[in-house]
């Protein structure tokens, strides 16, 4: 009896301690973070579902940090990172990864540049060695710069100039952003790409590529202790150096709406979009960022959303219709609506219907139930993201690369769950304003 009593008393004491401490916050990815002495931030995201691992290195620099007149240099350097070091010849990096059963690639945005490899967990040591080597010892010479410059020019021709939608998106960005470098395409303007030199690439590499300006994310069948030992071995000896602050020009207030129309014989359906400048996680009225995420999901994130149901199902004016918003930006973000119109539907007819839907939403048509359903869908999607290998690494890396904390990323489901109906309505009125909207219409037809 005494033993049983002591047991019950112990349980009561534990229960009281838990109540006093409050509920523990659930972590989205259960990631672990530490830093090396040279300033390199390291994040480990364990995932033991399969014996594989992803390495991602994120540099806190992107196209919006480029010198004036040197558009495309961030993306150009991304290409040159595969062109060799003193010990790894041009093209050998990807070949070695492939020979070891892995795959690798990289991407550049306005705010960051990232490199990744997906490999068997027992090959992580190898790709860490390779990635650390090019962080410190990239060989940038005329012999590799000149032919690679032709590669990026051809990439621009294929991805942008020969793609009406991509070309039109470039034009829309110049109307949405009046002054900020987000108006400049990541790949660069062709006239400036022709002038990118070996000296430009070296200067950009030496200026921004340093361990103290990078984030190493390892996800997969690993432990924090394993990663810490390998990171110290391969990255720990790379010296830090001074990295400049990311000074960007401010976007002036928008006081007028704009409308752009483009015709192309290669377009078969009318593609319509309307965009607004919006706060991000770290710029503008950032307290509205989570509410704007919920707003986008409410208005266009499901088959029951007002945009899809009203424009595709109930009144079949469009083939697709939805809302978009990504607050993961260093500066201001974009909120908007997009659709592909059905053949024979006029733009004016479609816009009249869409405007009515948005007006209804702004005047009280968003219900508390719709907000709760949207939040549930979003939090469920976050839970499913844990099953992915590379997905969490990308989410965490992108967040840290723009200056968010690991806690910000891990607590996203809770922050979405805390959004209220009033906050969603306030966010909608803040951003959705016809007097500052940029509307784009890409349609079939001759260009002259």
Which is the CATH superfamily of the domain at 32-234?
Answer: Metalloenzyme, LuxS/M16 peptidase-like (3.30.830.10)
- Asked whether 132 and 236 are in contact (CB, 8 A), the reply is no
pLDDT at 448: 61
Q: Fold match between 32-234 and 258-444?
A: yes
Helices marked H in 219-367 — which ranges? Answer: 224-234, 289-300, 306-308, 347-360
Per-residue model confidence (pLDDT) at position 27? 80
Nearest to 137 by CA among 179, 93, 107: 93
- DSSP labels for 161-229? IT-HHHHHHHHHHHHH-SSSGGGS-TT--HHHHTT--HHHHHHHHHHH-SGGGEEEEEEES--HHHHHH
Q: What is the token pair recorded at 152?
A: 């990026």
What are the tokens at 437?
Answer: 């909207």
Known catalytic membership, residue 78: yes
| pLDDT beneath 50: ranges in the chain | 1-25
CATH 3.40.710.10 fits 258-444, yes or no: no
List, in order, residues 6 or more apart from 74 with CB less than 8 Å away.
61, 62, 63, 65, 66, 108, 113, 186, 204
Task: Dig out the tokens for 436 from the structure.
Answer: 């500052």
User: In the structure encoding, which two tokens stand for residue 93, read together?
Assistant: 């990096």
Taking the whole predicted model, whether its pTM rises above 0.95 is answered as no
Q: Residues 176-209: pLDDT tens digits?
A: 999 999 999 999 999 999 999 999 999 999 999 9
Q: Which of 78, 275, 293, 410 does the annotation list as catalytic?
A: 78
Domain boundaries, the chain: 32-234, 258-444
Listing DSSP states for 394-441 in one string gives: HHHHHHHHTT--HHHHHTHHHHHHT--HHHHHHHHHHH--GGG-EEEE
pLDDT score, position 26: 57
pLDDT of 11: 33
Which tens digits make up the pLDDT trace of 272-294?
999 999 999 999 999 999 999 99
């Amino acid at each position: 009896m005494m033993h049983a009593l002591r047991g019950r008393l112990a349980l009561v004491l534990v229960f009281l301690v838990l109540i006093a401490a409050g509920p523990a916050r659930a972590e989205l990815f259960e990631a672990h973070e530490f830093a090396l002495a040279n300033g390199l931030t390291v994040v480990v995201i364990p995932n033991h579902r399969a014996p594989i691992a992803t390495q991602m290195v994120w540099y806190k620099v992107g196209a919006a940090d480029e010198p004036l007149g040197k558009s495309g240099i961030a993306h150009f350097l991304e290409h040159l990172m595969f062109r060799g070091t003193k010990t790894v010849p041009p093209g050998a990096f990807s070949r070695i990864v492939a020979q070891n059963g892995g795959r690798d690639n990289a991407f550049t945005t306005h705010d960051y540049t990232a490199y990744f490899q997906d490999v068997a967990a027992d090959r992580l040591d190898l790709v860490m060695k390779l990635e650390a080597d090019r962080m410190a010892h990239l060989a940038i010479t005329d012999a590799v710069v000149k032919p690679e410059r032709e590669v990026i020019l051809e990439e621009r021709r294929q991805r942008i100039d020969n793609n009406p939608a991509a070309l039109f998106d470039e034009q829309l960005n110049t109307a949405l952003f009046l002054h900020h470098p987000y108006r400049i395409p990541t790949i660069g303007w062709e006239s400036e790409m022709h002038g990118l030199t070996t000296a430009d690439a070296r200067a950009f590499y030496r200026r921004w590529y340093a361990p103290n300006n990078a984030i190493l994310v390892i996800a997969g069948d690993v432990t924090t202790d394993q990663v810490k030992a390998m990171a110290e071995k391969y990255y720990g000896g790379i010296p830090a150096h001074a990295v400049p602050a990311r000074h960007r020009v401010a976007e002036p207030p928008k006081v007028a709406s704009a409308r752009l129309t483009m015709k192309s014989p290669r377009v078969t359906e009318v593609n319509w979009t309307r965009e607004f400048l919006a706060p991000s996680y770290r710029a503008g009225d950032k307290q509205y960022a989570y509410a704007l995420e919920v707003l986008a999901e409410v208005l266009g994130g499901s088959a029951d959303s007002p945009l899809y149901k009203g424009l595709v199902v109930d009144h079949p004016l469009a083939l697709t219709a939805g809302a978009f918003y990504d607050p993961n930006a260093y500066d201001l973000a974009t909120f908007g609506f997009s659709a592909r119109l059905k053949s024979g539907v006029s733009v004016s007819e479609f816009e009249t219907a869409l405007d009515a839907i948005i007006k209804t939403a702004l005047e009280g048509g968003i219900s508390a139930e719709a907000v709760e359903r949207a939040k549930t869908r979003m939090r469920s999607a976050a839970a499913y993201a844990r099953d992915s290998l590379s997905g969490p690494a990308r989410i965490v890396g992108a967040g840290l690369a723009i200056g968010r904390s690991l806690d910000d990323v891990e607590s996203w489901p809770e922050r979405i769950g805390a959004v209220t109906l009033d906050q969603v309505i306030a966010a909608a009125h803040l951003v959705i304003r016809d007097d500052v909207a940029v509307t784009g219409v890409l349609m079939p037809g001759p260009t002259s």
